[in-house]
Homo-oligomer: A and B are copies of this chain.
Amino acid sequence: MTGLEALGMGMASAATIPPPLRDGGRGKKIVVLGAGLAGLTAAYELQRAGYQVSIVEARSIAGGRCQTARRGFALTELGGITQRCRFDEGLYFNHGPWRIPYHHRSTLHYIKTFGIPVELVNNDNDASYIYSTRGKGRLASRPVRKMEIEADIRGRSAEILAKVVQAGSLDRTFDAADKELFLAYLEAEGYLTGVDRDYAGTSGRGWRVKPGAGLHPGAPSTPYGLLDILHSNAWKTLSSVPDWDSPRTMFQPVGGMDALAKAFVDRLPGQIHYETRVEKIRQSDKGVEVSLIDPTGARSMLAADWCVCTIPLSVLKTIDHGFAEPFAAAMNGASYHPVGKIGLQMKSRFWEEKDWLYGGHVYTDDDDISLISMPSHGWFSQKGILLGYYQGGGNAAKISALAPDQRTEMALAFGEKIFHDYRSSFETAISVAWHLVPYSLGGWAEWSDEARVRDYPKLLQPDRRIYLAGEHLSYLGGWQAGAIESAWMQIDALHKRASSDSL
């Protein structure tokens, strides 16, 4: 084991650097379909290795789902409604990917390589609210600070367990010395006090009267009862440690996530054919031919030795791709996750000024909302963009059927239950339903356990001269790291074959 493995970060697998494309591409032609992060990664690395790369992109911008909404940005969903972003200059909203976990080495490789300034995302703010709509009792259907719930349910549980241990119920589990150590742990973890190890609250849950200057030592707050917390469901947001996918240490590019896509684009000058749709793909033993339709409706043909196709399966299925069976059938194994997000411009940062919330999320079990997130940038400035909801699945499908104004109204009606100024401060919104966004048709690919076994492995193999890549071909579904690492894996395979071809 290397030091890092010994230290618990696990053996490599998630790739941390691009594959070395030894001996280079020697001018061979590659066509990359899709200028999302998988396509951009493949194109950038293949070009560096000496391949001649063209990229075809249906949108007028690169980045795929890596988008940032700013003033003037337009978003048209299936059904034809176009929303135009009316945020004030300087404000923005990452309606696609918005956070980079510290362990996504692949994404961070390009952040570092391209010198993209990043800042921390406050991804778990203890001061933030839990708003439980399905719970009961005095802590349900009202905002409760997460730190109160953390302190109290852990404190009360530690107290119960300490009393059980003190009573000797676990004397067969522990010897006397270990028993004392375990009690000391429970005391520290739960802020237990006195000989009976009672939980009586702690400063970290907040004060009744805060300590200050002069004669103000502070007055402790009163903890909630265990049953009040249990009945409220507020405990459902807690876990011993955050999930791997949602660590507390996360980054975002300063100024918007699309900085990452733009940095790739800057390094692929003139190589991206924008607003160009793929009509048909055909292959021979020698190469790949892609039939294209440009913005004027004119058709053309692009020929290459190899193709990296990063079009989401949801979209690729609708194209005349000419793939052989069972490859083509395997594409049906993935379903694309409906995902909705809304950005709400607020004319004051009331969540900072009045609620003392700097980043983090309001957690709710109202699945039409799921999260309200406070921005982790623009601290102490005048205005800001809140994430007003972030639903998935059936809830996202339901909300996406609403007109944009109705979506906004739904978000405001919920948010004002928590924040007094939510509605009065609101100025303008932009919402996205990724399953309705042309050329994406979903937030990300989801694979059932069966399809992971039956279909997924087939798509990791090329169909003749075409290699698929994207977050859908990874176990990092929905993450930019999945797209990048999938591209790395596939260009490595492509390059090895192309190299042996030419010998």
Residues of chain A at the chain B interface (Cβ within 8 Å): 3-4, 7-15, 102-103, 105, 108, 111-112, 115, 118-120, 122, 124-127, 129, 143-145, 147-148, 150-151, 153-155, 157-158, 160-161, 164, 169-170, 173, 178, 181-182, 185-186, 188-191, 202-219, 221, 226-227, 230-231, 235-236, 238-245, 247-249, 251, 354-356, 358-360, 376, 379-380, 420, 452, 457, 460, 473-476, 482, 485-486, 488-489
- Docked-complex contact B204 and A14, CB < 8 angstroms: no
Of B125, B235, B488, which one neighbours A249 at CB under 8 angstroms?
B125
Determine the chain B residues whose CB is within 8 A of the CB of A243 once the complex forms. 202-204
Q: A125-B248, A218-B475, A248-B125 are in contact. Are A14 and B212 (CB under 8 A)?
A: yes
- Docked-complex contact B241 and A151, CB < 8 angstroms: yes
* Complex-state Cα separation, A245 to B210, whole angstroms: 11
* Complex-state Cα separation, A145 to B188, whole angstroms: 19
Q: A8-B144, A211-B476 are in contact. Are A216 and B154 (CB under 8 A)?
A: no
* Complex-state Cα separation, A173 to B167, whole angstroms: 15
- Docked-complex contact A249 and B126, CB < 8 angstroms: yes
Determine the chain B residues whose CB is within 8 A of the CB of A240 once the complex forms. 150-151, 154-155, 158, 189-191, 202, 204
Q: What is the total number of copies of this protein in its complex?
A: 2
**Chain B nearest Cβ from A108, distance in angstroms:** 7
Q: A102-B356, A158-B240 are in contact. Are A482 and B213 (CB under 8 A)?
A: yes
- Docked-complex contact B127 and A216, CB < 8 angstroms: no
- Docked-complex contact A173 and B160, CB < 8 angstroms: yes
Determine the chain B residues whose CB is within 8 A of the CB of A14 once the complex forms. 210-213, 216
* Complex-state Cα separation, A181 to B124, whole angstroms: 24
- Docked-complex contact A355 and B7, CB < 8 angstroms: yes
- Docked-complex contact B9 and A188, CB < 8 angstroms: no
Of B124, B185, B203, B208, which one neighbours A230 at CB under 8 angstroms?
B185
Nearest B residue to A135 via CB reads: B181
- Docked-complex contact A475 and B216, CB < 8 angstroms: yes
Nearest B residue to A420 via CB reads: B3
Determine the chain B residues whose CB is within 8 A of the CB of A9 once the complex forms. 127, 145, 206-207, 210, 356
- Docked-complex contact A210 and B125, CB < 8 angstroms: no
Q: A170-B160, A230-B181 are in contact. Are A205 and B241 (CB under 8 A)?
A: yes
Of B102, B186, B210, B474, which one neighbours A157 at CB under 8 angstroms?
B186
- Docked-complex contact B239 and A191, CB < 8 angstroms: yes
Determine the chain B residues whose CB is within 8 A of the CB of A247 once the complex forms. 126-127, 204
Of B213, B248, B251, which one neighbours A489 at CB under 8 angstroms?
B213
Q: A118-B380, A204-B243, A251-B379 are in contact. Are A213 and B15 (CB under 8 A)?
A: yes
**Chain B nearest Cβ from A489, distance in angstroms:** 5
Determine the chain B residues whose CB is within 8 A of the CB of A249 once the complex forms. 122, 125-127, 358-360
* Complex-state Cα separation, A188 to B102, whole angstroms: 24
**Chain B nearest Cβ from A251, distance in angstroms:** 7
- Docked-complex contact A213 and B120, CB < 8 angstroms: no
The 10 A-B pairs with the shortest beta carbon distances in the complex, nearest first, are A154-B240, A203-B244, A213-B485, A14-B212, A10-B207, A211-B475, A204-B241, A213-B474, A14-B210, A213-B486
